[in-house]
Amino acid sequence: MATAYKVTEPVAIRISGPIVTAIGMHAAQMYEVVQVGELGLVGEVVRMIGDQATIQVYEDTTMLKPGAPIQRTGAPLSVWLGPGLVGNIYDGIQRPLPGIQAHSGAWIRRGEKVDSLDTEKKWTFEPVASVGDNMMPGQAIGRVVETPLVNHLIMIPPELHGKIKRIVKKGEYSILEPVAVIEDEYGTHEITMMHRWPVRLPRPIRERLRIVQPLITGQRIIDTFFPIGKGGAAAIPGGFGTGKTITQHQLAKWSDADIIVFIGCGERGNEMTEVLREFPELTDPRSGRPLMERTILIANTSNMPVAAREVSIYTGITIAEYYRDMGLNVAVFADSTSRWAEALRELAARLEEMPAEEGFPASLPTRLAQFYERGGAVTTLSGKPASVSIVGAVSPPGGDFSEPVTQHTRRFIRCFWALDTELANARHYPSIHWLHSYSEYAEDVSPWWQKQAPDWTDLRTEALTLLQREDRLQQIVKLVGPDVLPDSQRLILFVAEIIKDGFLTQSAFDENDMYCTPEKQITLMRLILNFYRRGRDLIQAGVPLVRIRQLSCVPQIIRAKTAFGNKELEKIAELEKAAMEEMDGLAREYNIKEGTVICKTT
Amino acid sequence: MQNNIVIEDKGLQYVGASRIEGPLVVVERVRDVGYDEIVEIIDSAGRPRFGRVLDISDKQAVVQVLEGTTGLSNKNIRARFLGESFRLPVSRHMLGRVFDGLGRPADGGPAPLSAELRDVNGMPINPYARRYPREFIQTGLSAIDGMNALVRGQKLPIFSGNGLPHDRLSAQIMRQARLLEEEVEFSMVFAAMGVKHDVAEFFIRNFRESGALARAVMFFSLADAPSVERLLTPRVALTLAEHLAFDCGQHVLVLLTDMTNYCESLREVGTARGEIPGRKGYPGYLYSDLASIYERAGRIEGSPGSITQMAILTMPADDISHPVPDLTGYITEGQIVLDRDLFQRGVYPPIAGLPSLSRLMKDGVGKGYTREDHPILASQLFACYAYVKRVRGLADVIGEEELSALDKQYLKFGEAFEMRFLRQGEYENRSIETTLELGWDVLSTLPRDELHRVSDALLDQYYRESKDVVCEVSV
Ligand SMILES: Nc1ncnc2c1ncn2[C@@H]1O[C@H](COP(=O)(O)OP(=O)(O)OP(=O)(O)O)[C@@H](O)[C@H]1O
Ligand SMILES: [Mg+2]
């Protein structure tokens, strides 16, 4: 492109929204970070042609002019990794939002420069290696208690190894002070508690592992019917207001992961505020500590610059990988991957790339695959088992799952929680549809559940079968009404309602119900299915369905999930006993001999 | 090289455009012009029109003319770049005044005196600096207060359709909205995009009658104004709202109508630029663009004020999956959906029972806010009404007589719910207690055992055992 500027210094020659074209950029690298204009707006090189570079700018470019100077940094976009991440909230390019607030108040101005981690703060570093030790990449040289929940290992960065020449004693250090010196064939290297890692580059691992552990989420429909494994990937698609965010919040609160990374990617500001307000007050059911002590938030809300939205996903997943490398189980939540895909689309359009389906760039499937591939159960470089689980929300236009983002995402995940607008409208929450959802991890994690309850597989299968039969029966009912069905089939309709009201629905706002332990899940399932089995036998022996419907235990069974806490399982057992006695009464009334009733009450 | 620059006392001006297409004007060989800079395009009669720079290179500037390009010619126009982005003078003295879509006085009064100039694009609120919306706003409408409560700082749009009473409804809300505790009055910022004169008249009259005019600011970009102007109108209105809320500490209720017109203008500009269209021809960035408007609501730390936003949009062909309502629903904190069927059956306000939702309701109702039983009552009403819908579907197939006794009871409940609870007068202002009691009245038309979501304790307290309280349904 001919230009009016005869300069060799890099300058902008065109500005179109977040895309800036610059010349004088010879020898710049792809994905190198640059600073644009007097304000030093942060940008990233996304295309190089000759000495001309296309830059994606992470901040608003209003009043930026051709001729604006460009400063190169020579390094790709990287995050800071070290103690101080947990409990923090960042924007898409890892600028801490509290720091920005302290600096410029309630509004995010342009050109904010705040360090990602506090460089002044002293952490207690405790060495776990000694002089002379041969260190491999990723091996720990020390640890820091980052929060009472997080034992932060200080590791040799993945690209280094060598013999420890010096290491500090236990004491207080800031993240920039060297805590050790190692020596390899090229010389010596200082190790600090913080290192940087380019966000677009997956951190290395030793090997991938098979998924065998469930990620326990405390959500019944997920854990019991459509479980996700530790290291698994799940998608949660649904139209607006169907419950993607609430479900992800529930998972972020109650999952038995060691670290939670929540990426608010192009969604609402208030939702992040809600997490910030709630998490410090909620306690982890396992440790009794505030949930914020294991949570990291990335907030690039819908009104923040779209280019930073694109990168926020990578910022989050890189931080997750870093904690994984310490041998931890990390769960990443991305709300919403559709907004991220739209950011890709918007940037591609500005770059005048050829669009593929619905304007999305042809690289969309590759980009999605790369993201989900960064999850998994692994052996870390230092030989520890660890995992990154990924749950991505998908927001299909019009709630129609046939659109490109949902369709491509399906190829890279193995667990699909399909949210249903009709269920949500009926306030059936979580509105995960039991017939449209699936989990390929169910097989993988069933040995774990069998250990909790030998009859788990049977319970699960029986309940799912009931729900499927109900769906078929409902087709008939819709045509001719329920009266034509025999009582045995109407019992199925009745019990399916009990399963929905008493098991599948789970309020995120009810003290007793928001988190349901695996034990309680099993107990409730058994309660309902024993009621069904016994009812089936009674009907076979001639008891009319109305009598079973009218039993006083019915509303109690439905309310058991909220009436009893996780520690009151014996009360559910009592309820079951009472229910069975009530049904025994019915049996006596209809002169059913002992023994005709074949159901066991476990 | 042809020189298109003239120096005048007003500064640098460029003569002529290389291309005029739709709302866009391309000016060549400009210098020292910034992205999003504001431009005055002066037509041959010497009349200036505002525009802004959409794309700037060292060769040319693409200018979007906010006041339309009708009557502009390539040769004769002059472009003056003003060296700044679009800014609005803001002041609390703008209350009680009427402005055009770009913030210029439209009531014959003088331009407001103000030292404060604000970029109309605003800045994103730091999520860390937000305060979570909590306080319940009583609108006096049972359908909203009881089932889809509005809280201070929320953005809750009204999804309507042509011919439905969204104007009357929003006027009623603006008339009646108040907080339970404090006697603070809302300031109102009203922005009309592409609506007809009679609608504007209707709102002015309403504000006048309710005595709210002095607390209201109106921005009108009416149907006969150039359509691109509308792109700025909501931003202009929100810029003032932010000043009133966060600098002056006021509680501001913002009403934006009609967002569908806004989106159409956006589509127009996109098409003129030759952009790749997305769904139904709307630009791919419609979501982000709408978010830059809707997210300008809420509360922030360190300021007592708040912005509560109600955007009205008409769903083309009543289709809720149309991109405009769809993307709005993905950004706002719920939606109030108006239902043609209810309206035709004489129910005002015709607020659809199931698709309406207030996502922040959970944070503003219940113990300490309204009444302890409120959340559960709403949830149970929703559940029962959802069942009514199923029974009605069934009744259509097999006939009402064939329904079970229980299902028939549900139909009765449905009637009572719609006619007693939802329906109310345009000037009927119900207290939250009245609404809740009414809710229990209609719930009590169902057997107690059916109310699975309510605990025994609450049922003991609120369920009406004696059937004589059950209201007669008058249609
Ligand atoms: N498990 C639940 N318990 C109770 N209420 C729920 C639950 N899940 C969803 N809801 C209700 O549904 C509303 C919408 O949920 P949510 O905000 O998660 O939707 P979403 O799918 O993220 O929508 P969007 O795509 O617009 O962000 C919530 O405000 C809440 O009222
Ligand atoms: Mg959401």
* pLDDT computed for residue B465 by the predictor: 81
* pLDDT computed for residue B70 by the predictor: 87
For B51-88, write each residue's pLDDT tens digit: 999 999 988 999 999 888 888 888 888 999 988 889 99
Q: Which mutation among A217, A219, A246 tests ligand 1's pocket best, with the greatest number of atoms within 8 A of CB?
A: A246
Indicate if A169 and A236 belong to the same structural domain.
Answer: no
Q: Is the pLDDT of residue A496 over 70?
A: yes
Minimum CA–CA partner of A399 in chain B: B321
For A197-250, write each residue's pLDDT tens digit: 999 999 999 999 999 999 999 999 999 999 999 999 999 999 999 999 999 999
Q: Could you give the number of structural domains in chain A?
A: 4
Instruction: Report the residue of B58, B87, B242, B455 to disrupt the A interface, i.e. the one with the largest count of A CBs within 10 Å.
Output: B58
For B120-142, write each residue's pLDDT tens digit: 999 999 999 999 998 899 999 99
Indicate if A240 and A180 belong to the same structural domain.
Answer: no
Indicate if A348 and A276 belong to the same structural domain.
Answer: yes
| A434 contacts: CB under 8 Å, gap ≥ 6 | A221, A225, A464, A467, A504
Contact criterion met (CB < 8 Å) for A273 and B130: yes
Residue A362 belongs to domain with CATH number: 3.40.50.300
Q: Is the pLDDT of residue A478 over 90?
A: no
Indicate if A490 and A341 belong to the same structural domain.
Answer: no
Please state, in angstroms and rounded to a whole number, the distance separating the CA atoms of residues A340 and A372: 13
Minimum CA–CA partner of A475 in chain B: B394
Q: Is the CB of A489 under 6 A from ligand 1?
A: no
Residue A173 belongs to domain with CATH number: 2.40.50.100
Residue A582 belongs to domain with CATH number: 1.10.1140.10
Indicate if A381 and A476 belong to the same structural domain.
Answer: no
The answer to whether position A202 is within a domain reads no
For tokens 């369709």, the residue is A407
Q: Is the CB of A244 under 6 A from ligand 1?
A: yes
The ipTM, to two decimals, is 0.91
For A408-445, write each residue's pLDDT tens digit: 999 999 999 999 999 999 899 999 999 999 999 999 99
Contact criterion met (CB < 8 Å) for B128 and A303: no
The three-class DSSP label of residue A166 is: strand
Exposed e or buried b per residue across B49-87, where buried means at least 16 C-beta atoms within 10 angstroms of its C-beta: bbbbbbbbbbbbbbbbbbbbbeebeeeebbbbbbeebbb
Please state, in angstroms and rounded to a whole number, the distance separating the CA atoms of residues B254 and B173: 11
| Residue where a domain terminates, one of A413, A445, A477 | A445
**Per-residue DSSP letter, A142:** E
Minimum CA–CA partner of B294 in chain A: A303
* pLDDT computed for residue B185 by the predictor: 78
What residue spans of A75-213 are helical by DSSP H? 97-104
Please state, in angstroms and rounded to a whole number, the distance separating the CA atoms of residues A331 and A259: 6
User: What average pLDDT is seen over chain B?
Assistant: 90
The answer to whether position A83 is within a domain reads no
| Residue where a domain terminates, one of A196, A223, A247 | A196
Nearest CB to B394; choose among A239, A395, A481 = A481
Average pLDDT estimate for A533-561: 93
Indicate if A147 and A292 belong to the same structural domain.
Answer: no
Contact criterion met (CB < 8 Å) for A480 and B398: yes
Indicate if A364 and A278 belong to the same structural domain.
Answer: yes
Minimum CA–CA partner of B392 in chain A: A478
The answer to whether position A159 is within a domain reads yes
Range list of β-strands (E), A107-186? 123-127, 134-135, 140-147, 150-155, 162-167, 171-173, 178-184
Q: Which two tokens stand for residue A94?
A: 């890892």
Range list of β-strands (E), A58-118? 70-76, 78-81, 89-90
Q: Which two tokens stand for residue B442?
A: 């209609």
Q: Please indicate if any CB of chain A lies within 8 Å of the CB of B119.
A: yes
Beta-strand pair B334-337/B158-160: parallel
For A354-364, write each residue's pLDDT tens digit: 888 888 999 99
For B88-104, write each residue's pLDDT tens digit: 999 999 999 999 999 99
For A10-37, write each residue's pLDDT tens digit: 999 999 988 999 999 988 898 999 999 9
Ligand 1, atom 14: closest residue by C-alpha: A241
Q: Which mutation among A340, A400, A403, A429 tests ligand 1's pocket best, with the greatest number of atoms within 8 A of CB?
A: A429
**Size (chain B), residues:** 475
| B123 contacts: CB under 8 Å, gap ≥ 6 | A107, A108, A109
- Relative to the CA of A395, which ligand 1 atom is closest? 25
Which amino acid is it at B198? D
Minimum CA–CA partner of B122 in chain A: A107
Average pLDDT estimate for A555-564: 94
Q: Which mutation among A222, A236, A242, A250 tests ligand 1's pocket best, with the greatest number of atoms within 8 A of CB?
A: A242
Range list of β-strands (E), A355-420? 376-379, 385-394, 415-416
- Contact (Cβ atoms closer than 8 angstroms) between residue B202 and residue B192: no
Please state, in angstroms and rounded to a whole number, the distance separating the CA atoms of residues A294 and A274: 16
A158 cis-preceded (ω within 30 degrees of 0): no
Residue A32 belongs to domain with CATH number: 2.40.30.20
The answer to whether position A85 is within a domain reads no
* pLDDT computed for residue A6 by the predictor: 53
Q: Is the pLDDT of residue A294 over 50?
A: yes
Average pLDDT estimate for B250-274: 92
User: What average pLDDT is seen over chain A?
Assistant: 93
**Per-residue DSSP letter, A213:** S
- Relative to the CA of A243, which ligand 1 atom is closest? 18
**φ and ψ of A10, to 5 deg:** -70, 130
Domain carrying residue A335: 212-445
Crossing angle, helix A553-563 and helix A569-589, to 10 degrees? 170
Stretch among A93-102, A194-203, B204-213 having the lowest mean pLDDT: B204-213
Q: Which two tokens stand for residue A470?
A: 């109900």
For B417-460, write each residue's pLDDT tens digit: 999 999 999 999 999 999 999 999 999 999 998 998 898 899 99
CA atoms within 13 A on the CB side of B148: 24
Q: Is the CB of A302 under 6 A from ligand 1?
A: no
Q: Which residues of B touch A5 (CB under 8 A)?
A: 58
Contact criterion met (CB < 8 Å) for A559 and B291: no
Q: Is the CB of A241 under 6 A from ligand 1?
A: yes
- Relative to the CA of B329, which ligand 1 atom is closest? 26
pLDDT band at residue B473 using 50, 70 and 90 as cut-offs? very low
CA distance B180 to chain A (A): 23
What's the burial of A281, exposed, middle or buried (CB within 10 Å: 0-12/13-18/19+)?
exposed
Residue A246 alpha carbon to ligand 1 centre in Å? 5
Indicate if A337 and A465 belong to the same structural domain.
Answer: no
Ligand nearest to the CA of A249: 1
Contact criterion met (CB < 8 Å) for B375 and A509: yes
Q: Which helix (H) or strand (E) holds A295?
A: strand A295-300
CA distance A260 to chain B (A): 18
User: For ligand 2, a single-atom ion, which residues have Cβ within 5 Å?
Assistant: A 244-245
Which amino acid is it at A450? Q
**φ and ψ of B61, to 5 deg:** -120, 130
* pLDDT computed for residue B83 by the predictor: 87
| Residue where a domain terminates, one of A77, A98, A131 | A77
Stretch among A176-190, A489-503, B204-218, B330-344 having the lowest mean pLDDT: B204-218
Q: Is the pLDDT of residue A2 over 80?
A: no
Q: How far is CA B457 from CA A494, A563, B463, in A?
A: 25, 11, 10
Crossing angle, helix A364-373 and helix A306-324, to 10 degrees? 30
For B287-317, write each residue's pLDDT tens digit: 999 999 999 999 999 899 999 999 999 999 9
Indicate if A395 and A476 belong to the same structural domain.
Answer: no
Ligand nearest to the CA of B333: 1
Indicate if A40 and A176 belong to the same structural domain.
Answer: no
Q: Please indicate if any CB of chain A lies within 8 Å of the CB of B233.
A: no
Q: Is the CB of A508 under 6 A from ligand 1?
A: yes
CA atoms within 13 A on the CB side of A68: 27
Q: Is the CB of A219 under 6 A from ligand 1?
A: no
Positive or negative: CA dihedral A525, A527, A531, A534: positive
Residue A241 alpha carbon to ligand 1 centre in Å? 5
Beta-strand pair B251-257/B187-193: parallel
* pLDDT computed for residue B474 by the predictor: 40
* pLDDT computed for residue A371 by the predictor: 96
How big is the CA angle at A270 (ends A515 and B229), to the nearest 5 degrees? 145
Nearest CB to A65; choose among B34, B393, B449 = B34
pLDDT band at residue B466 using 50, 70 and 90 as cut-offs? low
* pLDDT computed for residue B403 by the predictor: 87
Positive or negative: CA dihedral A562, A568, A569, A573: negative
- Contact (Cβ atoms closer than 8 angstroms) between residue A163 and residue A135: yes
Contact criterion met (CB < 8 Å) for B119 and A559: no
Residue A509: how many other CB atoms lie within 10 Å? 13
Q: Is the pLDDT of residue A577 over 90?
A: yes
* pLDDT computed for residue A596 by the predictor: 52
pLDDT band at residue B2 using 50, 70 and 90 as cut-offs? very low
Task: Mark which residues 358-387 of B lie under 8 Å from A by CB.
Answer: 359-360, 362, 375, 379, 382-383, 386
Please state, in angstroms and rounded to a whole number, the distance separating the CA atoms of residues A275 and A284: 14
For tokens 């860390």, the residue is B128
Contact criterion met (CB < 8 Å) for B34 and A105: no
Cα Rg, chain A, nearest whole Å:
28
SS (H, E, C) chain B: CCCCEEEECCEEEEECCCEEECCEEEEECCCCCCCCEEEEEECCCCCEEEEEEEEEECCEEEEEECCCCCCCCCCCCEEEEEEEECEEEECHHHCCCEEECCCCECCCCCCCCCCEEEECCCCCECHHHEECCCCEEECCCHHHHHHCCEECCCECCEEECCCCCHHHHHHHHHHHCEECCCCCCCEEEEEEECCCHHHHHHHHHHHHHCCCHHHEEEEEECCCCCHHHHHCHHHHHHHHHHHHHHHCCCEEEEEEECHHHHHHHHHHHHHHCCCCECHHHCECCHHHHHHHHHCCCEEECCCCCEEEEEEEEECHHHCCCCHHHHHHHCCCCEEEEECHHHHHCCCCCCECCCCCEECCHHHHCCCCCCCCCHHHHHHHHHHHHHHHHHHHHHHHHHCHHHCCHHHHHHHHHHHHHHHHHHCCCCCCCCCHHHHHHHHHHHHCCCCHHHCCCCCHHHHHHHCCCCHHHCCCCCC
* pLDDT computed for residue B225 by the predictor: 87
Contact criterion met (CB < 8 Å) for B127 and A264: yes
Indicate if A474 and A500 belong to the same structural domain.
Answer: yes
**Per-residue DSSP letter, A501:** I
The three-class DSSP label of residue A212 is: coil
What residue spans of A335-455 are helical by DSSP H? 337-350, 364-373, 404-412, 421-425, 442-452
| A425 contacts: CB under 8 Å, gap ≥ 6 | B354, B355, B386
Q: Which mutation among B359, B361, B365, B376 tests ligand 1's pocket best, with the greatest number of atoms within 8 A of CB?
A: B359
Ligand nearest to the CA of A505: 1
Domains of chain B: 4-85 (2.40.10.170), 88-363 (3.40.50.12240), 374-462 (no CATH)
Indicate if A559 and A418 belong to the same structural domain.
Answer: no
